[in-house]
């Protein structure tokens, strides 16, 4: 065999290997979904979707204070939860005393709108596909409202539903003593905390697609690639699986990873960077939320690795507590204890019990619900979520006990913004004296600067079960070994 023949064979072998690899990538980007613990009983419930929505409406009617419930697509998540209907505008009346307890009013589509936007659901579709007992266009709503007002029947509506309130205000008279309760939001929000089999299946699929997007992004990540190119690969996987972004992707490389929600996708990845990717596919209306942090060159540096292992250990400790009966904030407190112990050993804390030193590194509570919204609704604990100074470091606040069917994230992180030590007085002056801050800076700044520019977050989606939990996002590489193996295959 001469040199030319050998070169041709070598070239053909290269193209063949490349084609096999490309086909494998495409197969990996298409998620072949099978629910965790799927069985015939669950499958039969999924196939009976109208019945699941009907069960939800019955629970709403049992819990509401009013005699009649009226709500609209002003809150599209609650509207979909109760009806399965996702075209706005629309209004529903629930009347448990009526022969037609579920009546829907939808937009009338004229021929010009259909020409431009395509066909929409009709009242007949609302009855056949979505289980409405009666359905009309919104033009017919007022005559129903007039009858409710005339008989002075009390009404339950969601708080802030301007579409419903505007309709009622237009029909109310001075002689009317109509009683309106704004309790529907709280009722539906609390119902949404515990996911039924339909919701669990939708979330499992969303998480699987998100994990597939993470794996595809790992194949692309290398020095010279731009953050927006990583975003494009992620959204390609979402679109190929008939999903979309549940929230704007958070993709930050190098110093951008130290910002919790970096939004610009404008930096070129550099050798030695980490890249933080916080993404969630929304499939069938339900949104995942999975974060991973990868070394751009495929290998963690010693400084990156020690912090990554610390965050991972914290997450593992917190995750072990995610089971029924444990307060929602208890995994957060346990995970943060691991992080604070590690920071003290590294010289990044001078007093492991100092409240203000701990607060310097702690920015958020690491658990939240997911569902129809990425930070889904429902009672969490008896505090105001924005009052982080009150609850983040208060172990007496354990939060609501976890229950089977809850789906939550757990997302510890460490963020070493390069110039954060320059703002100690502004950040911590309320709780520490100038002398304490100067001493902290003198001892900690030299160590802090070794890690400056490093941002790490690890986030997984956890289904609470009868006897513990299932990590729905375990298919996204998470350990140092898994990540480095996947990026250097």
pLDDT at 389 > cutoff 90: no
Min mean pLDDT across 44-48, 61-65, 134-138, 304-308 is at 44-48
Picking from 191, 220, 254, the residue at the C-terminal end of a domain is 191
* 374, 481: one domain: yes
The CATH number for 120's domain is 3.40.350.10
* 152, 201: one domain: no
Residue 143 pLDDT class (50, 70, 90 cuts): very high
* 345, 436: one domain: yes
Q: Is the Cβ–Cβ distance between 283 and 30 less than 8 Å?
A: no
441-to-303, 446, 486 alpha-carbon distances in Å: 20, 8, 39
Residue 49 pLDDT class (50, 70, 90 cuts): confident
pLDDT of residue 251: 98
pLDDT of residue 28: 58
pLDDT of residue 178: 81
Residue 22 domain flag:
no
Work out the number of other CB atoms within 10 angstroms of the CB of residue 62: 9
pLDDT at 43 > cutoff 60: no
SS3 content of the chain, % helix, strand, coil (to 5): 45, 15, 40
Residue 3 domain flag:
no
* 154, 219: one domain: no
pLDDT of residue 36: 37
Domain that holds residue 69: 43-191
Picking from 135, 160, 191, the residue at the C-terminal end of a domain is 191
pLDDT at 48 > cutoff 90: no
The CATH number for 282's domain is 3.90.230.10
pLDDT at 90 > cutoff 50: yes
Measured distance CA(95)–CA(144) in Å, rounded: 11
* 238, 338: one domain: yes
Pairing of strands 455-457, 134-137: unpaired
pLDDT of residue 25: 55
32-to-29, 228, 392, 475 alpha-carbon distances in Å: 9, 27, 39, 13
pLDDT at 430 > cutoff 90: yes
Number of domains in the chain: 2
Residue 7 domain flag:
no
* 448, 330: one domain: yes
pLDDT of residue 145: 93
pLDDT of residue 390: 86
* 102, 137: one domain: yes
Picking from 137, 161, 191, the residue at the C-terminal end of a domain is 191
* 219, 178: one domain: no
* 125, 204: one domain: no
Mean pLDDT of the chain: 91
Residue 446 domain flag:
yes
Residue 234 domain flag:
yes
For the question of whether the overall pTM of this predicted structure is more than 0.85, the answer is: yes
* 234, 216: one domain: yes
Residue 36 domain flag:
no
pLDDT of residue 387: 81
Measured distance CA(128)–CA(122) in Å, rounded: 10
Residue 218 domain flag:
yes
pLDDT at 29 > cutoff 50: yes
Tell me which of 15 and 345 has the higher pLDDT. 345
* 148, 211: one domain: no
* 182, 237: one domain: no
pLDDT in tens, 180-219: 999 999 999 999 999 999 999 999 999 999 999 999 999 9
3-state secondary structure of 437: helix
**Which ranges of 151-291 would DSSP assign to H, the alpha helix?**
162-171, 184-191, 197-220, 227-240
The residues pairing with 401 across neighbouring beta strands, listed in sequence order, are 327
Residue 12 domain flag:
no
């Amino acid at each position: 065999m001469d040199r030319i023949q050998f070169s041709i064979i070598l070239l053909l072998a290269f193209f063949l290997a490349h084609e096999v690899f490309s086909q494998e990538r495409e197969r990996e980007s298409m998620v072949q979904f099978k629910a965790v613990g799927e069985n015939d009983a669950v499958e039969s419930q999924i196939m009976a979707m109208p019945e699941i929505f009907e069960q939800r409406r019955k629970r709403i009617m049992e819990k509401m204070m009013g005699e009649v419930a009226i709500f609209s697509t002003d809150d599209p998540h609650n509207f979909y939860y109760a009806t399965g209907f996702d075209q706005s505008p629309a209004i529903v009346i629930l009347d448990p005393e009526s022969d037609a307890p579920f009546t829907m009013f939808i937009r009338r589509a004229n021929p010009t709108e259909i020409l431009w936007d395509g066909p929409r659901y009709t009242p007949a579709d609302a009855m056949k596909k979505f289980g409405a007992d009666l359905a009309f266009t919104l033009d017919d709503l007022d005559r129903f409202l007039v009858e409710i007002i005339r008989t002075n029947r009390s009404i339950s509506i969601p708080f802030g539903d301007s579409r419903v309130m505007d309709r009622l205000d237009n029909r109310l008279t001075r002689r009317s003593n109509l009683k309106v309760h704004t309790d529907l939001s709280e009722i539906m929000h609390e119902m949404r905390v515990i996911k039924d089999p339909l919701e669990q299946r939708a979330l499992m699929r969303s998480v699987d697609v998100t994990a597939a997007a993470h794996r595809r992004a790992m194949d692309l990540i290398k020095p010279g690639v731009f953050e927006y190119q990583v975003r494009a690969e992620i959204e390609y996987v979402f679109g190929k699986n008939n999903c979309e972004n549940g929230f704007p992707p958070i993709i930050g490389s190098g110093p951008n990873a130290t910002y919790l929600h970096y939004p610009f996708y404008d930096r070129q990845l550099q050798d030695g960077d980490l890249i933080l990717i916080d993404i969630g596919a929304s499939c069938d209306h339900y949104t995942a939320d999975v974060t991973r942090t990868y070394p751009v060159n495929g290998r963690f540096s010693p400084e990156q690795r020690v912090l990554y292992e610390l965050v991972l250990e914290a997450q593992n400790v917190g995750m072990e507590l995610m089971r029924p009966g444990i307060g929602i904030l208890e995994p957060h407190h346990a995970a943060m204890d691991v992080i604070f112990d590690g920071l003290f050993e590294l010289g990044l804390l001078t007093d492991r019990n100092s409240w203000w030193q701990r607060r310097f590194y702690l920015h958020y509570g690491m658990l939240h619900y997911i569902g129809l919204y990425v930070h889904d609704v429902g009672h969490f604990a008896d505090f105001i979520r924005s009052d982080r100074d009150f609850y983040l470091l208060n172990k007496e606040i354990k939060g609501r006990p976890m229950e089977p069917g809850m789906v939550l994230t757990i997302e510890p992180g460490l963020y070493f913004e390069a110039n954060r030590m320059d703002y100690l007085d502004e950040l911590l002056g309320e709780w520490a004296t100038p002398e304490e801050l100067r001493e902290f800076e003198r001892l900690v700044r030299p160590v802090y600067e070794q890690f400056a520019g490093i941002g790490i977050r690890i986030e997984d989606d956890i289904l609470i079960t009868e006897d513990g939990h299932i990590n729905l996002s375990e298919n996204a590489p998470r350990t140092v070994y898994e990540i480095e193996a996947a990026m250097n295959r």
